[in-house]
Chain A
Amino acid sequence: MLAVRIQLVVFRNEFPAIRRTVTAVRACIRHARTNAGLGAVTVAIGDCSPTPNFDDQQIAALRDELAGEAVLTSRFFDANLGSAGGSNALAEDGDEPFVWVLNPDTYPSPTALTLLLEAVQQEGVGASDARQLPIEHPKGYDLATGVAGWLTGACMLVRREAFVAVDGFDAAHFPMYCDDVDFSWRLRHAGWTLRTVPRATVFHDKRPGPDGRPFGSELEIESGSLAHLKLARRYCRPDVEARDLAAFDASGVPALARATAKFRRLDAAGALPSPMPDAAAVADVGVIYYGPHRFRYDL
């Protein structure tokens, strides 16, 4: 029987949203039990909020929701470890052969876990991810096989053996943004195949902004841009690093200016990721969406 650890790292998330996610997870477990030979399941909640996000009554309600289907554990980190650090810490708490990393603002469709499990058990596959709704991620994958250059961390099922082989997410350098891209590339560098399963879907609560583009907050722009520059350093693309530092500087966008300033500070302190020259072949830092994309959201 397949044992799975389902991990939710929360940070000031509202209880109704988490309850909705947990309710959806329960349906996924029930479907996978019937259709994929799923065995024991632990749902692990890791709380990165400044003070405990949920009271005992709320945790008990979540536990009741999963009663008979999964064990629920809740851990208050008393520190903001980021999604990467939180996921690593939660994974270390268990030993299940599969780890499902799931964002707390998601609703996985009921067949998602079943389909992701089928994919990740194929020989050589280290991880699988789902297609996002209602704003589909434009990252590329092979339309015939699902083989992908990288997977999104919003809904990613990882084989623990692969997770351990690459020491999980790099929480020191990629606490929240591009942690999934970096993790994916290190998995591929270690010889694992990644697979996107479009028929497995996950609703990710992203919304278009007033201009119709998928909305990106200031924090997302700043942290995402900083992470992009770090990826360029790690995967040995000095040309991309120089090009985008200059472009961000010239943009006049405050969030980008903050990203370049922080990047330079980290560089001066010797705190950027160490280059991995032999991993450059699996990385594609140079283009938006990190690798071939199927379409673009630019208007």
Chain B
Amino acid sequence: MTPDQWGLSPSTPLGSVLTRLDRGGDEQSFPEPTVFLSVVVRTRGTRRTLADTLTCLAAQTCDDFEVLLFVDTEHDDDEAAARAQVEPYDHVFRARVHVRRLRSNNRVTPLNAAIDVAAGRWFAVVDDDDLVTADWVERFRDGATDEGTIVRSRGVEQHVRRADGVSDVEPTTGFQLPYAATFDLLDHMLVNQSPIHTLAFPTRAFRALGIRFDPELPVYEDLDVILRSAQWCGVHDTGAITAIYRRWDDAEASIHAYTAEQWAATKAKVLDRLDARPLLLPPGNATRLVTLLADVERLRTADVALEAMERSRVWRATKPVRVALADRRVRRVLGTARRVIGSVARRHRGRTPDAP
């Protein structure tokens, strides 16, 4: 129905949503789903870690998936290298892997191409260095009970570095668990808590709603889609840890390819896009927002009171006493406290897989 049929101008919040829905998503024809999951693997074809990813997929306990391996490269040799990595796998797995060549040099193009050609009712994305457990597909499938819902498992993070001896990649830590157990849309606006291979997206809903990854975003393309699609589709948490995100300590990661300013500007762009439309929050968030706003108000009141006290005659008059008391030992303690708080804050900011 159009906004007019509801007695709404297209400029009203609901009217704008109805206008968008009335326009609909893509009108092109798509393949009928034949499997539960399309696994989109994006690679340039040259990374040896691709074999680790493929082995994890070949070892899945649930066979109801296809693999769309997008080799995005200008070089025929790279495509050949990727195909050569697939070729020796067992015939059952190999039959499920579809290698496709792209020449986009853009991290997003394979993902949007996959939405068009996926034969899976849901699709998931893994990069060519990601690892998953044997029940990765199975947990998604068991959690995909509601058509159109995003299914989310949980990830752990392992720091690694490039090795050049008998190995190609060397872990430097065990598993860390920086990601929230359950999905929260507001929390994700602050910090991404969901590495992309912890999510299975509903293919048909993405097509119908016209949700696509933004090729203009150099980073945060995953967070952008998560924030937009989660509003409409909702997220079901499986609760299982099934994904291992390898955080590269050296130059392998996208984190090192962009400056902090570029990361911040892109994040602002993602939020601008959210600001441009009505925001649909899951049930329970009205109370949550009120609580958050009340907390902010309390902090503001406390801040005002603190400022007033610092401006007061008594406070200024007693300054010499405070200076005398603040000996070097006290300053050292305060300095330590500041450093601890700073490091906690920095760690908090750095929780997203890609953030600086």
Contacts and interface: CB of A to CB of B under 8 A. Distances in A.
Contact of A199 (B90, B131, B168): B168
Contacts of B54: 109
A179 B161 CA distance: 31
Nearest to B244: A134
B59, B171, B177, B241: residue with the most chain A Cβ atoms closer than 10 Å: B59
B170 interface: yes
Contacts of B172: 295
B131 A133 contact: yes
A219 to B, nearest CB: 20
A212 B170 contact: no
A97 interface: no
Contacts of B175: 208, 212-214, 297, 299
Contacts of B55: 107, 109, 133, 201, 203
Interface string B86-124: 001111100000000000000000000000000000000
Interface stretch (B35-43, B132-140, B223-231, B282-290): B132-140
B51 A30 contact: no
B171 A295 contact: yes
B163 A143 contact: yes
Nearest to B92: A23
A249 interface: no
A109 to B, nearest CB: 4
B54, B92, B175: residue with the most chain A Cβ atoms closer than 10 Å: B175
A122 B54 CA distance: 29
Contact of A298 (B163, B165, B170, B174): B174
Interface residues of A, number: 46
Nearest to A296: B174
A28 to B, nearest CB: 9
Contacts of B56: 133-134, 203
Contacts of B92: 23
B166 A145 contact: yes
A264 B170 CA distance: 40
Nearest to B166: A146
A110 interface: yes
Interface in B119-168: 131-135, 156, 163, 165-168
A16 B59 CA distance: 11
B134 A207 contact: yes
Contact of B241 (A107, A110, A199, A208): A208
Contacts of A31: 88
A203 B134 contact: yes
Interface in A132-155: 133-136, 138, 142-146
Interface string A25-44: 01100110000000000000
A31 B173 CA distance: 33
Nearest to B51: A109
Contact of A297 (B89, B163, B174): B174
B301 interface: no
B interface, size bucket: 35 or more
A214 B171 CA distance: 15
Interface string A57-97: 00000000000000000000000000000000000000000
A299 B172 CA distance: 13
Nearest to B131: A134
A145 to B, nearest CB: 7
A111 interface: yes
Contacts of B167: 131, 143, 198-199
Interface in A201-220: 201, 203, 205-214
A299 B131 contact: no
A138 B171 contact: yes
A23 B241 CA distance: 27
Contacts of B174: 138, 213, 295-299
Interface string A1-32: 00000000000000011001001101100110
Contacts of A142: 166
Given A27-B90, A133-B131, A145-B166, A208 B59 contact: no
Interface in B232-257: 239, 241-242, 244
A143 B135 contact: no
Given A207-B133, A207-B241, A295-B173, A110 B52 contact: no
Contacts of B59: 20, 24, 107, 133, 203, 205
A110 B166 contact: no
A294 B89 contact: no
Contacts of A145: 165-166
Given A134-B244, A205-B134, A27 B88 contact: yes
Given A138-B174, A297-B175, 12 more contacts: A23-B90, A24-B90, A27-B90, A109-B51, A133-B52, A134-B56, A134-B244, A144-B165, A198-B167, A199-B48, A208-B175, A295-B174
29 contacts: A23-B91, A24-B90, A27-B89, A107-B58, A109-B51, A109-B55, A110-B88, A133-B52, A133-B56, A134-B131, A134-B132, A134-B244, A138-B171, A198-B166, A199-B48, A199-B168, A201-B55, A203-B58, A207-B133, A208-B133, A208-B156, A208-B175, A209-B241, A213-B175, A295-B171, A295-B173, A297-B174, A297-B175, A299-B176
Interface of B: 48, 51-52, 54-56, 58-59, 61, 88-92, 131-135, 156, 163, 165-168, 170-177, 239, 241-242, 244
